[in-house]
Structure 1
């Protein structure tokens, strides 16, 4: 924020001055000096600047005992909104974001400024006058996570990788089938121990080189080399043999009917063998990364993309971790939750009931009463799915007894008794000790506070341990209870097995080796089974979690999207985010049909 606006906001919000808009108020140079934290000499210089720029009217006192008078000519809201528009107009998006996050104002005004910023960012694209390009700007309420395909963990980063890179095949949820992508055809032996992929010719990476089977081989080898948390799924592959520039064969140690799922998932995004991901992420996708730092990720349309070039020319994603969401924010696919004006009807809306659910974990790596089955049963009743949806509502749409909504739908739902929970808690041997509850700040705050209140009713003491995000596990693993959310891929069988076997998620971090071994034995032959039997095995594994209360399912979520009506081509990609490669901006009819007047 520029110094003049800063000084004005300080004066206008100083409680000791009690200044009022359009009303002269007596002040002294000393009181102004205290409010501005500067010398009386500097106060006079600041007052002159403020009056010259139309912020105040200053009437100096004449003679001893006569106070000076100051009249505010602009509201704080007006001043900040004008400055925000000025920053955006000059392309200073980072400064505009910092203005909202850093200025000492009340929550209502911060929300107004955020809505104003939204109008210039997430809710519409515009034609940049200097470049003549369509640019979509978005905001995220947390820092950028890991974009390395071998380690990607969060839904948004997984979605982004789908815009930057490609896999050999893609999974089509509507037809429950696989479609060609970088491979135009594939085949397998009768016993499913040999798989062969035939690659498209002429596919280029963002750095210009043509993709070959050597890149596919190197991508798989890299998963092993960097010890990817997902490597368990690829353990049956004995070797990958290059049989030509555009043909690669995989020899397996045992039959694998799940093989196509493994080569359609984001972990097998094909990377160039001659580039280091840690230096620069290069893919073959419709967008390439043109800039990335802690503040912004900029994507540009890849002109040599082998498919259909995106309509958008650029997508800018700004990271605003200090602007946390609340229930009045809406999930803008491809962004985080952005505040919407309640009277703005000039938007397109999409509701996306997401696969997966919010849930709670017990951290079995820590000693404590939560190892007792009756304590977990009591928590199951406190963290009641029916009450969670009924009491908190919002985008919590249905109770969850599974990660899969259609499994939850067939359950009989009745609200649990807190009195029964109290009895179970007493039977567990609980002695009134404090149990730490970890949750993501802003995202899970309401649910955590709700749980704490219900726990108090039965005499259970919960200590709130908020974390900034759910990406870094350091703080999280100090707690006995952990609130989390899992959003599954549209390829739900892959999503489920990856949840159970991903070595870097909350679930794995909380399970002891003995408990994990039980699950490993259950799922060991998963990939050898046909689809129906795989689904049954996943159901058995989830039932094991329910019976032992290793996981407490909470509720299924609805991801809501709102975009300006000038944006067309809205199609959902993975996790319900908007497929930005399909979006395009419609110029207003007035512009299109306008005719120049005759000279």
Structure 2
């Protein structure tokens, strides 16, 4: 342990002590606390006193109390030490220090300002070449970078940079684009699909990818040992046949015109059979793919990606992306200064004047693809009662919620598919054009509560920290009506804790996806809050409806079936669509190549740093998605893509 560790451990053990005020303590007590000898205690105290961290007045005689006075406040020592470690290049130790003690002490604003200035772009000579590095904070640590366990948004975002899928969804146009497969085709009835793979595509460990790797990747999703919640992607597969090393044929038990779309999901990212099979438990921490970046280093404090020189596509402009995984409570401190890209999901304000003075170009707000939703646990507890669910629906005034909470909330959601169709100017939603809260009884909320048999039980409402304000607002409105509601902030790992979700009565979160078809995953994926809270009867009806969508080859019929599913959810009051939200982007004028999807994630492949003297005006077109990889000429390449 370092000297600062000994000091901070001691300081934490004496929470009642104040700086400048002596506290009685014995050498034996310190020896027990530090797990060392009295002789070593004296040496440590001498070093701390020499650095003016403490004042020490020894007692007379063995066992007699001495007087210890803390001089330096813990937050100041943490800040000084972290800054010193960072300057020395020991980033891991600096972040570990912040993690260990940043949750106990409020760090100094001056340090947070200094730390934020350390993030951004840096160019340095390395081996005769210039290496461009983007260093950024990450406040929600990845859980697993194994595609088979891709659940969380942060994980999926990183997976998309380390791995590649057979096809890619262009979020700007909704079209399917070639990626590892350059061409694909299907039988007329949609039961047999053939994918043609690019040649000379290499994994990060140097081996060429082939059809056997694709076969293994997809089979791995349904292996019991993998325990992947994405097994449903492959449930209709009858066979996977590598025709040649670069041609894979997939046979299905029934028609599925959504198969190409499903193969764009992060879970379908292609993994190397030799590595994933031999080291399944380590693969999530040491992932190897064919993507534009390879994993150079990853632990619970630092995640470092390096551009893959052997990438089959266009090599990224950046050489290194280094993410410091910081405590979530530090998320309110946004980077300032040059060479910064800042995205606010509504968690912190972005004062436009302040950023403009620093050379940032702010862009208008972008609406998330998705909606906040409130699920009801219809498998246990009070929310099994339909009248109670209807009463809660009536008590939540979405317009009042937007008006009272403000910030990045822009309006009530009419449903994932309805919002999508409205945004794209479609009129196909009109025969379903009702509010998301339209299924109301003629009874008042009070009458519905009485009819439900509710007897004062505590309703446990869980939400992630970023949706805490929404959850507390909902709880307040329900409490005013006489319902007893307890709000609990979820940790990320709670998503995969089946018992935790089972014990929750309500869950508020925002399912994000590239399109309404992506929402299907939340309805049938076994780890999803929505799926786990649905009754078994509704689960079966949803499964049947999804099967019908898969049989439809036309976009129009798929859209109608998606609306039917949302109508089914609303009729059962299985969940409530709440609000649409936005995110804002502030980009410093020195950064180019900014492309952000409608989930608020940056595509790091295209970022670059302009000349420091450049004064080019920020071009809004740089926010468009990259569709430059070309389009397949096969009939199946577009028809299922626009949702």
- Fold conserved between structures, TM > 0.5: yes
Once residues 242 and 58 of structure 1 are traced to their aligned partners in structure 2, the CA distance between those partners, rounded to angstroms, is: 75
SS in 2 for 1:576: coil
Q: 1:167·1:266 contact (CA, 8 Å) conserved in 2?
A: yes
Matched, 1:126 2:126: no
Once residues 243 and 50 of structure 1 are traced to their aligned partners in structure 2, the CA distance between those partners, rounded to angstroms, is: 71
Change (3 A) 1:102 1:199: closer
Change (3 A) 1:87 1:395: farther
How many angstroms does 1:406 deviate by?
Answer: 4.0
SS in 2 for 1:535: helix
Change (3 A) 1:347 1:242: same
Matched, 1:254 2:267: no
Matched with 1:359 is 373
Change (3 A) 1:327 1:289: closer
Aligned residues: 568
Change (3 A) 1:263 1:140: same
How many angstroms does 1:99 deviate by?
Answer: 3.9
How many angstroms does 1:78 deviate by?
Answer: 6.2
Matched with 1:62 is none
Matched with 1:374 is 387
Q: 2:76·2:107 contact (CA, 8 Å) conserved in 1?
A: no
Matched, 1:498 2:521: yes
How many angstroms does 1:506 deviate by?
Answer: 1.0
Matched with 2:541 is 518
Matched with 1:550 is 574
How many angstroms does 1:585 deviate by?
Answer: 2.8
Once residues 256 and 171 of structure 2 are traced to their aligned partners in structure 1, the CA distance between those partners, rounded to angstroms, is: 21
Q: TM-score, normalised by structure 2?
A: 0.76
Q: 1:434·1:461 contact (CA, 8 Å) conserved in 2?
A: yes
Matched, 1:451 2:449: no
Matched, 1:276 2:287: no
How many angstroms does 1:385 deviate by?
Answer: 2.0
Matched, 1:387 2:400: yes
Once residues 245 and 511 of structure 2 are traced to their aligned partners in structure 1, the CA distance between those partners, rounded to angstroms, is: 39
Change (3 A) 1:114 1:187: same
Instruction: Report Cα offsets for 1:200-250 as digits up to 9, x if no partner.
Output: 111111111112222222222222224643333433332222222222222
Q: 1:290·1:299 contact (CA, 8 Å) conserved in 2?
A: yes
Change (3 A) 1:221 1:335: farther
How many angstroms does 1:282 deviate by?
Answer: 1.8
Structure 1 unaligned segments of length 5 or more: list them.
21-26, 60-67, 591-599
Q: 2:410·2:580 contact (CA, 8 Å) conserved in 1?
A: yes
1:230-245 equivalences in 2 (<5 Å) = 230-245=230-245
Once residues 121 and 577 of structure 2 are traced to their aligned partners in structure 1, the CA distance between those partners, rounded to angstroms, is: 38
Instruction: Report Cα offsets for 1:460-504 as digits up to 9, x if no partner.
Output: 00123332225333423212112222011x2x1430222222122
Change (3 A) 1:32 1:117: farther
Once residues 308 and 150 of structure 1 are traced to their aligned partners in structure 2, the CA distance between those partners, rounded to angstroms, is: 26
Once residues 235 and 166 of structure 1 are traced to their aligned partners in structure 2, the CA distance between those partners, rounded to angstroms, is: 22
SS in 2 for 1:533: helix
Change (3 A) 1:206 1:98: closer
Change (3 A) 1:332 1:411: farther
Instruction: Report Cα offsets for 1:560-579 as digits up to 9, x if no partner.
Output: 34455443211124733111
Change (3 A) 1:40 1:219: closer
Change (3 A) 1:391 1:327: farther
Once residues 287 and 443 of structure 1 are traced to their aligned partners in structure 2, the CA distance between those partners, rounded to angstroms, is: 29
Change (3 A) 1:573 1:540: same
